[in-house]
């Protein structure tokens, strides 16, 4: 007998709480003209979480987000947003920033924000009023009466983002939101995402830049070739690779060497090896008793990049790096 969707979705994730799910999906499949674009996506996103869809361009991130939002329907599988299998019915609860940015160039900033709010059921006058407040809050109050065509790319993207938020959604979905932004505006956007989560808003965003996911996300779905080989907490993804010990000793030889794990390798003045399952304490005793002369010892946890390579494979990791280079014009 099949398990209920909410239970199955939780089984594919390991976020350690019992919060109500904002998004849950099981077995999502999508084909375009016979080509399999997304192949069996399972994920669940608790309310109030920051959740990342991480993978190279063409991996299926945008298609997955569009299925979750009901913009396109899956060929197979089930998805729910706040328990509703028809996301369009609760569109007023959702804010969506698509990868393809687009604002009417002749509109003024407050008008553009108000218009986007009106598409989600907010009265136009109220949307313009809130738009001016948001522009002021984010340091763009001086631009409220400027036309979109008069703005820089970064400013226009900020205006569109504010239009995504103006109706105060419970769920915000951002498709590659950092693309095209300089470092300063990327930092501002990261803070906006943190502020939204602090207010209880669920944020899910796609990205091909691991650093954004590592800094922001509680959970991630790693997607490559339309499949999701991992969906769960960032910490658990990193823990799939044993922590590495970096040891520096004054002595380079002696009986204490027998206590080093089998995978130990020398790198300059350091010994590098995986953290033993028994912990580092037995090793420390052997080093001290053997008079190794410990000069430094650190335990270094694997980063999300290493976890991505381990889970998705070297080819997917190289594709991420290529996407980043292309975006930076290198």
The region of weakest confidence among 3-7, 114-118, 129-133, 310-314 is 3-7
Can you read off the two tokens belonging to residue 29? 């499949």
82 three-class SS: coil
Q: What is the pLDDT of residue 10?
A: 40
| Shared domain check, 296 and 161 | no
Q: Which residue range is the domain that position 128 belongs to?
A: 5-238
Q: According to the model, what pLDDT value does residue 194 have?
A: 96
Q: Are 121 and 231 within one domain?
A: yes
Q: Which of 233, 236, 217, 226 is nearest to 52 (CA)?
A: 217
Q: Are residues 107 and 62 in the same domain?
A: yes
Within a domain: 312: no
Average pLDDT over residues 29-44: 93
* 30 lies in some domain: yes
- Helix, strand, coil shares of the chain, percent, nearest 5, are 40, 25, 35
pLDDT at 143: 93
What is the per-residue pLDDT for 317?
86
- Residue 11, pLDDT score: 37
How far apart (Å, rounded) are the C-alpha atoms in residues 319 and 193? 26
| 118 and 258 together in one domain | no
Tell me what the mean pLDDT of segment 155-170 comes to.
94
In a domain, 65, yes or no: yes
The beta strand positions in 118-241, using DSSP E, are 171-175, 202-207, 219-224, 227-233
Q: Tell me, what CATH number does 150's domain have?
A: 3.40.50.300
Share of the chain above pLDDT 70, in %: 94
Position 7 pLDDT exceeds 80: no
pLDDT value at position 13? Answer: 56
- Please state the rounded mean pLDDT for residues 286-298: 93
% residues pLDDT > 90 (the chain) = 70
Reported for 305-310, long-range contacts at CB under 8 A and 24+ positions apart, including other chains, are: 305/210, 305/214, 306/238, 306/241, 307/237, 307/238, 307/240, 307/241, 308/54, 308/210, 308/222, 308/237, 310/240, 310/241
CB 306 within 8 A of CB 239: no
For the whole model, what pTM was predicted? Answer: 0.83
Chain segment 93-113, per-residue pLDDT in tens: 999 999 887 889 999 999 999
Same domain for 100 and 61, yes or no, is yes
Give the model's confidence band at 2: pLDDT under 50 very low, under 70 low, under 90 confident, else very high: very low
Q: Is residue 181 part of a domain?
A: yes
Please check the confidence at residue 3 and state whether its pLDDT lies above 50: no
Residues 10 and 129 in one domain: yes
The domain total for the chain is 2
Ordered DSSP codes for 33-64: TTEEEEEEEEEEEETT-EEEEE--TTSSHHHH
In a domain, residue 323? The reply is no
If asked whether residues 223 and 290 sit together in one domain, one would say no
CA distances from 275 to 119, 263, 272, 282, 304 (A): 54, 10, 9, 11, 18
- Give every strand in the sheet of 219-224, ordered side by side: 94-97, 171-175, 202-207, 50-54, 219-224, 227-233
Residues 247 and 234 in one domain: no
Q: Is 91 inside a domain boundary? A: yes
Claim to verify: residue 222 and residue 166 sit in the same structural domain: yes
Q: Can you tell me the mean pLDDT for 55-80?
A: 94
pLDDT of residue 329: 67
Residues 173-221 pLDDT 10s: 999 999 888 888 899 999 999 999 999 999 999 999 899 999 999 999 9
Please indicate, yes or no, if residue 287 is contained in any of the structural domains. Answer: yes
Question: What's the mean pLDDT when you consider all of the chain?
Answer: 89
Q: Residue 48 has what pLDDT?
A: 95
Q: Are residues 154 and 286 in the same domain?
A: no
Segment 297-314 shows an average pLDDT of 90
Indicate the angle between helix axes 304-312 and 314-327, nearest 10 degrees.
130
Asked whether residue 145 carries a pLDDT value surpassing 80, the answer given is yes
Mean pLDDT of the 297-305 span: 90
Q: Residue 330's pLDDT band (boundaries 50, 70, 90)?
A: low
282 and 233 both lie in a single domain: no
Are residue 97 and residue 184 in the same domain, yes or no?
yes
- The answer to whether residue 280 is domain-embedded is yes
Residue 12 reports pLDDT greater than 80:
no
Widest Cα–Cα separation across the chain? 79
- Residue 135, both tokens: 């522009």
pLDDT higher than 90, residue 114: yes
Last-in-domain residue among 214, 238, 262:
238
């Amino acid at each position: 007998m099949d398990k209920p969707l909410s239970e199955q979705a939780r089984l594919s994730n390991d976020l350690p709480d019992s919060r109500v799910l904002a998004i849950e999906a099981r077995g999502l499949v999508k084909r375009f003209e016979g080509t399999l674009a997304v192949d069996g996506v399972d994920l669940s996103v608790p309310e109030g979480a920051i959740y990342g869809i991480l993978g190279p361009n063409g991996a299926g991130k945008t298609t997955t987000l569009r299925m979750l939002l009901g913009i396109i329907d899956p060929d197979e599988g089930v998805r729910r947003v706040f328990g509703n299998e028809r996301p369009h019915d609760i569109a007023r609860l959702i804010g969506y920033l698509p990868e393809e940015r687009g604002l009417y160039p002749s509109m003024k900033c407050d008008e553009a924000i108000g218009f986007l709010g009106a598409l989600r059921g907010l009265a136009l006058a109220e949307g313009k009023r809130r738009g001016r407040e948001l522009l002021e809050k984010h340091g763009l109050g001086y631009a409220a009466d400027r036309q979109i065509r008069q703005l820089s790319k970064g400013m226009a993207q900020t205006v569109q983002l504010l239009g995504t938020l103006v109706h105060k959604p419970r769920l915000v979905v951002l498709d590659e939101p950092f693309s095209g932004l300089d470092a300063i505006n990327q930092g501002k956007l990261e803070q906006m995402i943190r502020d939204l989560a602090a207010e209880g808003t669920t944020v899910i965003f796609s990205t091909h830049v691991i650093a954004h996911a590592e800094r922001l996300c509680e959970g991630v779905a790693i997607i490559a070739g339309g499949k999701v080989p991992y969906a769960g907490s960032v910490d658990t993804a990193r823990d799939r690779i044993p922590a590495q010990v970096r040891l520096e000793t004054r002595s380079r030889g002696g009986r204490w060497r027998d206590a080093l794990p089998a995978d130990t390798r020398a790198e300059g003045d350091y010994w590098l090896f995986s953290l033993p399952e028994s912990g580092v304490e037995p090793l420390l005793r052997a080093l001290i008793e053997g008079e190794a002369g410990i000069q430094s010892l650190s335990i270094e946890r694997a980063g999300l990049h290493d976890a991505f390579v381990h889970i998705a494979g070297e080819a997917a990791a190289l594709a991420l790096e290529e996407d980043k280079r292309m975006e930076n014009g290198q």
